[in-house]
């Protein structure tokens, strides 16, 4: 069984993509709404919450866990070895993809993810691209209140317009949606920034997890469903 977790609805984008890629694999989704949002927590709080989420999913029977939260993924390196072995953070595959798409990369993320420079650190492993990280914590609340592609409030439209201006003014060629909540508004941002390539860590993480599962099936000689 595969486990997927986030602090709310953001990780559902990764969960749906994972279900599409490997539909016959049992899976479970955990939304830690009680402790949301994760983006304003301290690093020590995040480590404790991430460990608790992994433990809860493991108790459900999950043997592989996708950390469908960029903020939680930013503290993955500080988890115990056993926790790292069964979990996969979504920052790394997204950083690898973004690095292959352009030399000027903008990241919109939660307060903690942006201040930690998590994406900048990961991207530097793959290229010398210039990275600009912007904290857009208010967008998390807007998504949690029901704003989605095709159905956004005036307040959300104003916020997205302001974000788009910052990204454009930065001269970005690539935009990473550094919080899975933002993937719910990928279409809106694509219309506002048609010249910018958008990377969704939710999608990149799901693809990486599906690849890991399929490789395991090959090793065991099982049939691979796609």
Q: Classify burial at 220, counting beta carbons within 10 Å of its beta carbon; exposed 0-12, middle 13-18, buried 19 or more.
A: exposed
Active site residue 156: no
Active site residue 70: no
Q: Which of 13, 70, 156, 179 is catalytic?
A: 179
Q: Identify the DSSP state of 147.
A: -
* Alpha helices in 117-152, H assignment, sequence order: 118-123, 138-144
- Between helix 201-220 and helix 12-21 the angle, nearest 10°, is 40
User: Would you list the DSSP string of 96-108?
Assistant: HHHHTT-SEEEEE
* Alpha helices in 61-124, H assignment, sequence order: 70-73, 81-86, 91-99, 111-116, 118-123
Q: Which of 13, 69, 70, 156 is catalytic?
A: 69
Contact 21, 226 (CB under 8 A): yes
User: Catalytic residue numbers?
Assistant: 69, 179
């Amino acid at each position: 069984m595969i486990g997927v977790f986030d602090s709310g609805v953001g990780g559902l984008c990764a969960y749906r993509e994972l279900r599409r890629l490997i539909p016959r694999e049992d899976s479970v989704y955990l939304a830690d709404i009680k402790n949301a949002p994760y983006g304003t927590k301290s690093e020590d709080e995040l480590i404790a919450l991430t460990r608790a989420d992994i433990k809860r999913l493991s108790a459900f029977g999950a043997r592989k866990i996708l950390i469908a939260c960029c903020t939680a993924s930013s503290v993955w390196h500080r988890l115990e070895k056993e926790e790292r072995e069964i979990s996969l953070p979504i920052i790394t595959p997204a950083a690898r993809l973004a690095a292959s798409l352009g030399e000027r990369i903008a990241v919109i993320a939660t307060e903690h993810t942006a201040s930690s420079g998590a994406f900048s650190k990961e991207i530097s492993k793959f290229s010398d691209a210039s990275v600009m990280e912007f904290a857009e914590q208010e967008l998390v609340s807007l998504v949690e209140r029901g704003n989605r592609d095709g159905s956004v409030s005036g307040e959300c439209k104003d916020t997205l317009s302001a974000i788009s201006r910052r990204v454009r003014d930065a001269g970005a060629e690539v935009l990473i949606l550094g919080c899975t909540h933002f993937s719910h508004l990928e279409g809106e941002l694509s219309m506002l920034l048609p010249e910018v390539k958008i990377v969704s860590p939710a999608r990149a993480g799901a693809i990486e997890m599906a690849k890991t599962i399929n490789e395991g099936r090959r090793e065991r000689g099982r049939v691979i469903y796609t």
